[in-house]
Amino acid sequence: MKICLVTAFPPSQGGLNEYGLHIARELQRNPFLNLTILADELPSPQPELAEFSVQRCWSFDDPATPLRLLRAVRKSKPDVVWFNLLFSTFGRNPLVAFSGLMTPVLARVGGSFTHVTLHHLMDTVELRDAGVRFERMYRMAGAVATRMLLMANSVSVLMPGYRKILYEKYGGGNVHLRTHGVLTSRPELPEFARRGNPVHRILAFGKWGTYKRLELMIEAFCRVADSHSGVQLVIAGGDHPQATGYVDSVKKKCNGDPRIEFTGYVEEPELADLFQSSSVAVMPYSSSTGSSGVAHLACQYGVPIVCADLPDFLQMAQGEELAIEFYQAGKADDLADCLIRFLENPEKQHAMAAQNFAAALRMTMPNIVQKYLLHFEVQQRREALRYVARFRRLPRWIPSKSLLLRAVTRDSLGWSRRSAVAHTRWNGGSMVASLHRNGNRGGELRGPGDAIDGDGVDPRSSSSTPDLSRGRVAAAGSTDEDENDCHKARNRRLLDHGSAPYIARHDQSGQSEDKQKSGINRERSPVRLIRAGRDQRGYGESGLRGATSGSNGGGGEAAAQTADRATGERDRIVEAAGLDGHGDVEASRPSSANGQGRRSSSQG
């Protein structure tokens, strides 16, 4: 599968650049994928990350962004165009941002399969906190832009409330709920030895200046510092694109206070040290714009969270089972009291850290990306089957109907050759044994170590394949009349109890015969229905169809008959089980010469 990922990408510092980086890393690890990143241009030349194929074909606040992106997509000819978007991804200018959001639907019109991961909605953003003057105009434009995004083949949102809004207000039927996930495949265990040693570090992380402001955080911290001497406030991150110079202005006001540290923009390798040394992460937001990346970073390192009680964060905490302590939004006193209670309770600190770490293990980035890939493949198969369904409705008298179908679906059926999902067996490929150590092995029956009651049938060797053409079940045992009588008596008891003869391994058939003669009798278990893989023919050398292992019938064959409980079906059940009412038994033994011959004997 060939994917074009449209996102801001490091070393650019555009919105969602870190999220785009981690998505690209997981896609790049998949050997079945060909990934091309359509990223934003850099203000100055910088070296690219060596392991990625990056085309910097669009710019922030560039009106020509849609045309340049469409040209790059047409040149790449991908199976999927994946957009990682905010409403402000393509520009600060409203007209430029609006035109950039038209790109997914234009790419779909051009014949590409498009998917949009939308991180927030204009309907839930507090525009006043973002410094927007013409709020009503922005709402109208945001509604139109949302409807355009819904014209993509599929859309993913990260909050349950967002999917509800898109479904009820906009009628979006192609909207899927995804998890934001943590930006790693291996969350790190919390290092409790570094926290509170020698001081408790309170971390405030983000892009500051709009709905994320520091005045309330600093006011609450001063009250906490008055009651606890061993605390330090760490402010990490830079300015929001719409609030240039905000962090520097706050830093000047706090100049000379050793308890407050400003780190500026934090590079990716430095995040682990920053979060592991912090006792708590605080999110002093006045409004929210979707699922918080800062909260998921804190979970990645097992850091407790203190957050404003905004509706989006309440949904996030409940849906993902995060350990978050909420305070009343906009109240510095409530935030200070919340932090004081937290710092005075070590048990709570450990419990919240452990819960967030456990939540991170459930939503690692490989799991998130795998769900996206599975969705892409299912959607492509659905599109391909639509073409097939249309041609099936055509009249039979149309000439060259099959040739026309092949010509039309030549590109749409590409998923069959370019699948990016590592398909497993129908039960997940698990080798966990069931009763008597039977398990699914792609059509190969695994028997127990010992055959039970001598009803041993080789499931893997064609030399011991039972003859089912006449409704008889072959038994690996003696054909003496005494043993036939024993078989008849046992089979009658099996029918009375609603079970069937047990099918054992071929290498134990001789052992089972000895145990029959020695009088060993063990409890029987019913035959399990074994499914053959779809890519296996499932036909033996004799032309019989059954559950087999291998493509030429050289593997084992197993027959499973269903017994109806109705009394009137008893005769049919007896015939299907290989009992003709007169004690007929067939024995199948491997040839002693090469193990591949077949010798059958029957007694009437």
To the nearest whole number, what is the mean pLDDT of the chain? 75
Write the CA distances from 518 to 264, 340, 513, 521, 525, integer angstroms: 83, 78, 9, 9, 21
How far apart are alpha carbons 4 and 11 in whole angstroms?
19
| Rounded mean pLDDT, 250-274 | 89
User: Given a cut of 90, is residue 55 above it in pLDDT?
Assistant: yes
43 vs 502: which has the higher pLDDT: 43
How far apart are alpha carbons 408 and 222 in whole angstroms?
69
| Rounded mean pLDDT, 581-588 | 40
pLDDT given at position 122: 86
Neighbours of 10 (CB within 10 A): 20
pLDDT given at position 412: 52
pLDDT given at position 408: 62
Q: Which of 131-135, 276-280, 399-403 has the highest mean pLDDT?
A: 276-280
Q: Which residue has the tokens 């079970």?
A: 499
How far apart are alpha carbons 254 and 596 in whole angstroms?
87
How far apart are alpha carbons 603 and 588 in whole angstroms?
12
563: nearest Cα among 539, 527, 530: 527
**How far is residue 20 CA from its own chain's centroid?**
17
Which CATH code fits 192-362? 3.40.50.2000
The runs of H, that is alpha helices, within 183-310 are 215-227, 246-253, 271-276, 293-300
Confidence band, pLDDT 50/70/90 cuts, at residue 92: confident
Confidence band, pLDDT 50/70/90 cuts, at residue 200: very high
Taking the alpha carbons of 595, 596, 597, 603 in that order, is the dihedral positive or negative?
A: positive
User: Given a cut of 70, is residue 125 above it in pLDDT?
Assistant: yes
DSSP 552-596: SS-S--B---PPP-SGGGHHHHHHHTT--SS--EEEEEE-TTTS-
DSSP 160-192: HHHHHHHHHTS--SSEEE-----SSSSPPPP-G
* Helices and strands in the chain, H and E counts: 18, 15
pLDDT given at position 542: 37
Q: What is the pLDDT of residues 376-413, one digit of tens each?
A: 988 878 877 777 777 777 777 777 666 766 666 655 54
Q: Which of 87-91, 256-260, 276-280, 410-414 has the lowest mean pLDDT?
A: 410-414
Q: Which of 55-64, 127-136, 203-212, 534-543 has the lowest mean pLDDT?
A: 534-543
Q: What is the pLDDT of residues 348-377, one digit of tens each?
A: 999 999 999 999 999 999 999 999 999 998
DSSP state of 95: H
How far apart are alpha carbons 331 and 191 in whole angstroms?
31
Q: Which of 147-156, 197-206, 282-291 has the lowest mean pLDDT?
A: 282-291
382 vs 282: which has the higher pLDDT: 282
- Same CATH topology for 2-177 and 192-362: the answer is yes
Confidence band, pLDDT 50/70/90 cuts, at residue 291: confident
Neighbours of 326 (CB within 10 A): 17
3-state helix, strand, coil in the chain (%, to 5): 40, 15, 45
Q: Report domain extents, the chain.
A: 2-177, 192-362, 431-604
pLDDT given at position 287: 83
User: Given a cut of 50, is residue 420 above it in pLDDT?
Assistant: yes
DSSP state of 444: P
DSSP state of 420: -
pLDDT given at position 550: 39
Confidence band, pLDDT 50/70/90 cuts, at residue 556: very low
Q: Which of 109-118, 141-150, 271-280, 417-426 has the lowest mean pLDDT?
A: 417-426
pLDDT given at position 80: 94
pLDDT given at position 176: 94
User: Given a cut of 80, is residue 114 above it in pLDDT?
Assistant: yes
User: Given a cut of 80, is residue 245 above it in pLDDT?
Assistant: yes
Q: pTM of the prediction?
A: 0.65
Q: What is the pLDDT of residues 296-326, one digit of tens each?
A: 999 999 999 999 999 889 999 998 999 999 9
pLDDT given at position 405: 67
pLDDT given at position 463: 42
Burial of 103 (0-12, 13-18, 19+ CB in 10 A): buried
Neighbours of 295 (CB within 10 A): 25
Which CATH code fits 2-177? 3.40.50.2000
Percent of the chain with pLDDT over 90: 42
User: Given a cut of 60, is residue 330 above it in pLDDT?
Assistant: yes
| 320 φ, ψ (degrees, to nearest 5) | -105, 5
Write the CA distances from 500 to 337, 371, 437, 576, integer angstroms: 70, 41, 17, 10
User: Given a cut of 50, is residue 465 above it in pLDDT?
Assistant: no
How far apart are alpha carbons 84 and 369 in whole angstroms?
13
| Rounded mean pLDDT, 51-79 | 93
User: Given a cut of 80, is residue 453 above it in pLDDT?
Assistant: no
Q: Which of 109-123, 316-330, 583-597 has the lowest mean pLDDT?
A: 583-597
User: Given a cut of 50, is residue 327 above it in pLDDT?
Assistant: yes
User: Given a cut of 70, is residue 281 above it in pLDDT?
Assistant: yes
Region class of 116: left (phi > 0), else alpha (psi between -120 and 50), else beta: beta
